[in-house]
Structure 1
Amino acid sequence: MALVKLFDIAIARSGDKGNNSNIGVRARSPELYEFLKKELTEERVKKHFEKICFGKVTRYELPNLRAFNFIMEQSLGGGGTETLLTDAQGKVHGLALLHMEMDVPDALLV
């Protein structure tokens, strides 16, 4: 096992709609997709964003793309037009998620 950041095994893009943000995560291989299917859970994403995500996290699976889409409710302080936060947009949430560390079997890191 090796402790790696998610960006070593996946790519991500994110965006926002109102007070919610979404993060699309795509595994770099079919084997990594199966690994992430077990390890990159709604609960784990919620914990990673616990200081900013005050609503539910929902994961949608897109196996034909080796991808997941996470919707994080109440994660933008009301949204771009309603908050006092400097940058209440979800565009940086994908990069923030890629900094999550996980133990990955060495065989998947080839």
Structure 2
Amino acid sequence: MTATAALYQFAHGRTGDKGDRSNISVIAYDARDFDHLVAHVTEDAVRGLFRERQPTAVTRYLVPSLQAMNFVIDGVLDGGVNDALNLDTHGKALSFRLLQLQIPLPPRLATDAAGND
């Protein structure tokens, strides 16, 4: 069985919005984990995480020089600030939701975890 942990243990996030589009940046705390995050925090994973909001598109942009990625999620804010009836019309809480995503431990930590079983 693969040990997992929440994404927030390896990265932090920032969120912005424009209309019915949210963008969520995920920035690795440790550059050694960036490739692992790229492999596991995918467009499909993000689409699945927000499936009940029925996003029309999810696009990921990588920024390796900053050990970061940015997700642009269309159709996820219930029409945008002026149209949405939800409590978080700006979608600021979406980054917190994404940071709850469970991912396998990075290899440098998985080795330590396996030795402690």
TM-score (norm 1): 0.91
Q: CA deviation at 1:12?
A: 0.4
2:40 alignment counterpart = 39
Per-residue CA deviations over 1:16-51 (Å, capped at 9, x if unaligned) read 110010100001122210101111110111101111
Output the CA distance in 2 between the equivalents of 1:50 and 1:87: 17
Runs (4+) of structure 1 exceeding 2 A deviation are 83-87
2:83 alignment counterpart = 82
Output the CA distance in 2 between the equivalents of 1:105 and 1:62: 19
Q: CA deviation at 1:105?
A: 3.6
Q: CA RMSD in A?
A: 1.6
- For structure 2, the residue ranges without an aligned partner over 5 or more in a row are 113-117
Pair 21,73 (structure 1): closer, same or farther in 2 beyond 3 Å: same
- For structure 1, the residue ranges without an aligned partner over 5 or more in a row are none
Output the CA distance in 1 between the equivalents of 2:30 and 2:87: 37
What SS does the aligned partner of 2:93 have? helix
Contact persistence 2:36–2:106 (CA under 8 A)? no
Contact persistence 1:53–1:72 (CA under 8 A)? no
Bigger radius of gyration among the two: 2
1:97 alignment counterpart = 98
Output the CA distance in 2 between the equivalents of 1:108 and 1:62: 24
Q: CA deviation at 1:86?
A: 2.8
Q: CA deviation at 1:104?
A: 1.3
Aligned residues: 110
For residues 1-110 of structure 1, the aligned pairs below 5 Å read 1-105=2-106, 107-108=108-109
Output the CA distance in 2 between the equivalents of 1:84 and 1:46: 22
Output the CA distance in 1 between the equivalents of 2:66 and 2:103: 22
